Structure 1
Amino acid sequence: MLGFATFAIGTDEFVLAGVLPEMGRDLGVSVTTAGQVVTVFALTCAVLAPVLATATARRARRAVLLLAVAVHLLGNVATALAPTFATVLAAQMVAAAGAGLFVPTAAVTAAALVAPERRGRAIAAVTTGFTAATALGAPIGTALGGWLGWRSTMWFVAALSVLGLIGVRLLVPARVAAPAPEGLRARLAPLRDRRVLAVLATTLVGFTAIYLPYTYIAVVFEPATGGSGDRLAVLMFTLGVVGTLGNIAAGRLADRFGGRAVVALALLWMTGALLLFPLTTGAYTSALLMIVVYGVAAFAITSPQQHRLITLDPASASVLVSLNAAILYLAIAMSGAVGALGIGWAGARALPLIAAGLAVAALLLSEWGHRMSRSPAA
């Protein structure tokens, strides 16, 4: 159920990429301006996640989870009713506050609900909700937006939040023994370790490269989809399914060969796919094929990056995963901002090429992180 609630929250964030054109037309703003709703949501999550988690550390975990989902629900209802783009931004900041509080709390709660030897898998089950959101939630919401308008998409997300609220209330125990650092300084203490910083830097740059074309997927593939919400939903569904399978396979490969090798392979694969992107966006068949090739590697660094962090300090697994989630949100925020600049500077066709450059930079950071992991913690 914690994974499902994460799925609901992830759907809110990822589905926005599929309804940017409809939202822009309805509210009278350009698609690049509309894209900043993704930036605002993700940046709010990244900033507030550690602060809110610290502020609620002494409260019962289920109470905090219910509060987080309720705030997220309120923000999405307000978004569905928003009359202006400025109101949409404000409402999504409220929704993002709930999301930023829920994800790290859910990771800590999941780890506390199982035996120590199963904590890594429990945390992965929660964070896999994000990948599932790209496979199911975002395509369904995008199709709804194409049929009934973008506001119907937000009501769909609100309905998912209601289900998550009920499920958490019924299935998560009222009292969970989940000790957490009491202060913000203690929660951010792992950032003093250069090895952790190197892995998190790889997450930041790597996922900025991943989400750069995804955030503006409606614009990048507009020549192939002809503006059809149904065709775009199929592309997003395909990407989500292939990405989920790639993430699962990457987790198993990381257990066998180590996280560094899997991340390096995924980033090299993704760089090659991104360089070929501009050649495939003109026709729907080639676009669908490219989504498959790109999707294999796009989310394949998720599990290996978590694997690398947990390996560095198993005792701080939940804290490290929550920091990784905050960095992931920051990457999504950067993708919205960098993508808007890239479209204004060179057009939508240039976004995959910019992303390819970032993927190469992420590969270099990953190798630097590997060298850091051989040395003692700073």
Structure 2
Amino acid sequence: MLLPILLLSAAGFTVLTTEFVIVGLLPSIARDLDVSIPQAGLLVTLFAFTVAAFGPFLTAYFSRFERRRLFITILVMFGLANTLAALAPNIGVMAIARLLPALGLPVFWALASETAVDIVGPDYAGRAIEKIGFGIVCATVFGIPVGTLISDAWGWRSAFAILAGVAMIKALLLWCYLPATRLHLEQVSLRSQFGILRRPLMIGHVLLSILVFCGMFTAYTYLADILERLAGFNGTVVGWCLMGFGAVGLIGNSLGGRMVDRHPLIASMVFCAFMIGGMVALVPSIHSILGLAAALGVWGVTQAALFLVSHVRLMKAAPHAPAFAASLNIAGGNLGIGLGAMVGGRVIDNLGLGSLGFAAAGFILLSILLALALMGAKSRTVYA
């Protein structure tokens, strides 16, 4: 039972690295394609908004397909898209290369999560998705920073070329070792799945994911630029900083998997509160090695935890349609990512890089207030 989850986790590493590797490559891409950093940041927005716009619909439709073939097809598509990114001559072609995998990511992530929960049962959903999340966190620990180091050594195009090859290898591994999955006999209708959006509490949960991810990516999208321009680090040092940021995320992934099974909303508030501290402390500590390490550490732990907590929180809120609920979290989270990249770009243009942490913390504070409101609304519903 463990091997299929580990294979999906390894595939998830490639899928999420494809989305987020660009964070560490933005300065190089902007220079090579002759655009500004905020303009290059719109590539993050494009990917995220595509996921948000199409994710729930694609997941609801493809949930009826046999999972092994579907996952392999998605990974092949990622391989081809990353090849196109490696060859992109301008920002327009690069945008197309980012658009294609954005269509496959929500389908893979939501259905891989549902498959993992099917294996272990709903009572251990957090722990099962923690294992899937391990691949996601490893994308942050190794994928994003290694991509930055590769870019510094051989150019950003090499990072996408290597990622294309890895995607094809993962597709081959799934073809060889992932067993064909049994289709659910009791398919939930599309109408029933979309019907959960009529519940105010569900809308509140989706809005919470939007706010959390908007806060995260208002600053995280431009973290490499912060470390280059404000701390004065070169590309190699930035890569190692991003690796450290992701490495502590393994702690957050483990903590999040345990806390979310007990109380999803409390887990959200706790991690959001600590994230505010890390974000606000980053720039004031930028020239102190210990201070910078502490701020990045707190931020890295909480960011990884909130990826998992948000995902499981939505799945637990709609147990009869967990894959669709997961797709709503992915859609809401990516809408937040896209908005955050846009807001961060505007903050840089108008207030400067040093203000990003405070702007991001404002969205996270709103997330805490919304989580409190959802707890109150849930209590009233239970006792009504």
TM > 0.5: yes
- In the other structure, the counterpart of 2:188 is 181
Q: How many residues align?
A: 376
Is the 2:268–2:309 contact (alpha carbons within 8 Å) kept by the matching residues of 1?
Answer: yes
TM-score (norm 2): 0.90
After TM superposition, give the deviation of residue 24 of structure 1 in Å.
Answer: 0.7
Give how far 1:309 is off: 3.2
User: How do residues 114-263 of structure 1 correspond to structure 2 at under 5 angstroms?
Assistant: 114-115=120-121, 117-178=123-184, 180-183=187-190, 185-223=191-229, 225-256=231-262, 258-263=263-268
SS of structure 2 residue aligned to 1:221: helix
- Percent sequence identity over matched residues? 28
Partner of 2:319: 314
Conserved? CA contact 1:6–1:103, under 8 Å: yes
- 1:322 & 1:288 partners in 2: Cα distance? 34
Q: For residue 346 of structure 2, what is the amino acid of its counterpart?
A: L
CA distance in 1, matches of 2:14, 2:176: 17
Task: Give per-residue Cα distances to partners, 1:2-44, cap 9 Å, x unaligned.
Answer: 1111110111111101011111111111111111111111111
The SS at the match of 2:321 is helix
Q: Does residue 297 of structure 1 match 2:297? A: no
DSSP 3-state at the match of 1:209: helix
Which amino acid counterpart does residue 150 of structure 2 have in structure 1?
L
Partners in 2 of 1:310 and 1:17 — Cα distance?
28
CA offset at residue 152 of structure 1? 0.8
Per-residue deviation, residues 168-206 of structure 1 (Å, max 9, x unmatched): 2122222422354342x4332222222222222121111
Offset from partner CA, 1:89-124 (integer Å, 9 cap, x none):
011101212223322232233334445555553344
CA distance in 2, matches of 1:307, 1:105: 13
Report the counterpart of residue 14 of structure 2 in structure 1. 8
Work out the CA distance in 1 between the residues paired with 2:126 and 2:286.
39
Q: For residue 284 of structure 1, report the CA deviation from its aligned partner.
A: 5.0
Where in structure 2 are there 5+ consecutive unaligned residues?
1-6
Structure 1 residue aligned with 2:4: none
Hey, what's the Cα distance between the residues in 2 that align with 1:313 and 1:59? 21
Q: What does residue 356 of structure 2 align with?
A: 351
Question: Could you tell me which of 323, 342, 363 is aligned with 1:337?
Answer: 342
Residue deviations 1:46-88 (CA, integer Å, cap 9, x gap): 2222222233343322221122111121111111011111100
Paired residue type of 2:101: A
309 and 105 in structure 1: CA distance in 2 versus 1, 3 angstrom threshold: closer
* Greater Cα offset, 113-122 or 352-361: 113-122
The 1-side partners of 2:321 and 2:63 are apart by 16
Read off the aligned partner of 1:318 and give its amino acid letter: A
Identify if the C-alpha distance between structure 1 residues 112 and 269 changes in structure 2 by more than 3 Å, giving closer, same or farther: closer
Structure 1 residues 19 and 302, CA, compared in 2 at 3 Å: closer, same or farther? closer
Greater CA drift, 334-343 or 123-132? 123-132
2:196–2:318 CA contact under 8 A, matched in 1: no
- State which drifts further: 322-331 or 29-38: 322-331
What amino acid is aligned across from residue 42 of structure 1 in structure 2? A
Counterparts of 2:208 and 2:314, CA distance in 1: 11
8 Å CA contact 2:130, 2:257 repeated in 1: no
Question: How far apart, in 1, do the equivalents of 2:299 and 2:68 lie?
Answer: 38
What CA distance in whole angstroms lies between the structure 1 residues aligned with 2:264 and 2:56?
25
Amino acid at match of 2:64: R
Unaligned runs of at least 5 residues, structure 1: none
Residue 158 of structure 1 aligns with an amino acid whose one-letter code is A
CA contact (8 A) 1:6 1:126 kept: yes
**AA in 2 matched with 1:58:** R
What is the CA distance between 1:370 and its match in structure 2?
A: 0.9
Relative to the length of structure 1, the TM-score reads: 0.92
Q: 1:163 to 1:187 in 2, by over 3 A?
A: farther
Aligned equivalents of 1:25 and 1:305: distance in 2? 35
* 3-state SS in 1 of match to 2:305: coil
